[in-house]
Amino acid sequence: MKAATATINLNALASNLKKVKEQSPESKIMAVVKANAYGHGLQHVATHAHGADAFGVARIEEALQMRASGVVKPILLLEGFYSSGDLPVLVTNNIQTVVHCEEQLAALEQAELETPVVVWLKIDSGMHRLGVRPEDFSSFVKRLKACDNVAKPLRYMSHFGCADELDKSITQEQTELFLSLTDGCEGERSLAASAGLLAWEQSRLDWVRPGIIMYGVSPFNDKTASELGYRPVMTLKSHLISVREVKKGESVGYGGVWTSKRDTKVGVLAIGYGDGYPRTAPNGTPVLVNGREVPIAGRVSMDMLTVDLGPNANDKVGDEAILWGELLPAEKVAAHIGTIAYELVTKLTSRVEMEYID
C-alpha cells in the first residue's frame, strides 16, 4: 500500500474541457498546463486534453517536455521568453511567445531567425504585473508589425487581477480597456482565464485560457467546482497507519498544539508536509475517513498527520483517507488552511505516487 497517492481522473479532465467548450462555444481553448499541469502531471494531462486547441505554459522547459512527449498542438509561453538565446528554440519547436516588455521586443528585432515566431502582445489592462502600458500599445504594435521575425497577424492578450471577485468593477474596466485598445486589430484576442470564462461573458473572445477549472477546482471563494458543474480531477489519498486511544487532557504531536477535551481515538495518516500537505493546516482542517469528515488534531509532521476520529470510531489501520478531491473539495480544505486550492494541488512532492485512471 502506497503511503500517499494522487489519483488523476482523466475522464473528469475530459468532461471539464467539454464543459468549458459548452460555456464558451465560440472560443478556442488554450489549456493552461504550467507547473506540471498544476501538479497533475504535465505529460498525462497534455496527451489526454483532447478538447484543447493549444496549451499555455510558463517555462520553455515545460514546452520542450511536451514536444518530447509528442504533443504537436500550439504551445504558448505565457510570460514570454527570458533570454534571446531562447528564440531559435522557439522556432525549432514551434512554440509561441508572449511579448510584454521592451527587452523582449528588442531581442526579437535583433534576432536572425529562419522562421517568424507567433507573438501575443500582452497588454497591462489594469493588473500591473506584466504587459505593455496602454500608452505604449501603439508603438509596440508598430514595431512588432515591422519586425520580420514576428508572424502576422499579431495576437493580443491581457490578464485579470480580480476576476474571482464578482462585486469589483475592475474586471469590467480591464475588459473595456482591452477591447477598446484592440478594436479593429486583425489578430486573435484572449483575456479570460478560469474565473473570467465562468463569470465574465464579455471576456471570452477568440481564446479562453482555463487552468484551475479544467482540473475541477473552483477559482471562486464561495462556490465549489461541483456547484459549477465541474469534476475534481485529483483525489489525494492516504491511509491510517495507527488508531490510538488518547485520554482527555492529553496533547498530540509536535508542540502539543492540540489537547483532547475527551477520551477519544486519534488516527495517524501516512502523509505529511514531506508529501506537500501543508504544515500550516490548523486543528480542525477536514479529512475524509470512511466517508465522514474528521478534523486534523495536532501539527502536521513531515511524514504523518493526526486526526480526531471520535470516541466511537470503528476505523482500522489500513483504512483509506481522502485529503481532498471527489467528496472533499480542495477549495474547502484550502479555506481552512488560509490558502487557495491552486497552491494545494500544485505543491505535492515527488514522493506522492501519481495514479492515472480513465
Choice between 75 and 288, CB closer to ligand PLP: 75
Least Cβ distance, residue 127 to ligand PLP (angstroms): 10
318 beta partners:
none
Nearest Cα residue to 50 out of 217, 234, 214: 214
Q: Is 254 among the residues known to form the active site?
A: yes
Q: Which residues of 117-152 are buried (b: 16+ CB within 10 A; e: fewer)?
A: bbbbbbbbbbeeebbbeeeebeebbebbeebebbee
Strand pairing class (264-269; 305-308): antiparallel
| Min separation Cβ 318 and ligand PLP, Å | 36
SS3 for 30? strand
| Nearest-approach distance from CB 179 to ligand PLP, in angstroms | 18
Nearer to ligand PLP, 195 or 288 (CB): 195
Of 153, 155, 147, 159, the C-alpha closest to 87 is: 147
Q: Which long-range contacts (CB under 8 A, 24 or more apart) does 194-198 make?
A: 194/219, 195/160, 195/163, 195/164, 195/219, 195/220, 196/160, 196/163, 196/171, 197/20, 197/23, 197/24, 197/27, 198/23, 198/228
What does DSSP say about strands 75-77 and 54-57: parallel, antiparallel, or unpaired?
parallel
Concerning whether 73 is annotated as a catalytic residue, the answer is no
The residue type of 232 is P
Distances (CA, A) of 355 to 93, 175, 201: 29, 40, 35
Which entry of 2, 82, 254, 316 is annotated as an active-site residue? 254
10 vs 225, beta carbon nearer ligand PLP: 225
Secondary-structure breakdown of the chain: helix, strand, coil percentages, each rounded to the nearest 5: 30, 25, 45
Please pick, among 19, 34, 237, 265, the residue that the annotation labels catalytic.
34
- Closest-by-Cβ residue to ligand PLP is 211
Instruction: Please report how close the Cβ of residue 219 comes to ligand PLP at its closest, in angstroms.
Output: 5
Nearest to 278 by CA among 233, 224, 341: 341
Cell of 266: 486519534
Q: Which of 162, 169, 230, 166 is nearest to 199 (CA)?
A: 166
- As measured in angstroms, the least distance from the Cβ of 32 to ligand PLP is 4
Residues at the contact surface with ligand PLP, assessed by CB under 6 A = 32, 34, 56, 78, 159, 193-194, 209-212, 219
Least gap, CB of 57 to ligand PLP (angstroms): 9
- Measured from the CB atom, is 79 or 315 closer to ligand PLP? 79
**Residues catalogued as catalytic:** 34, 254
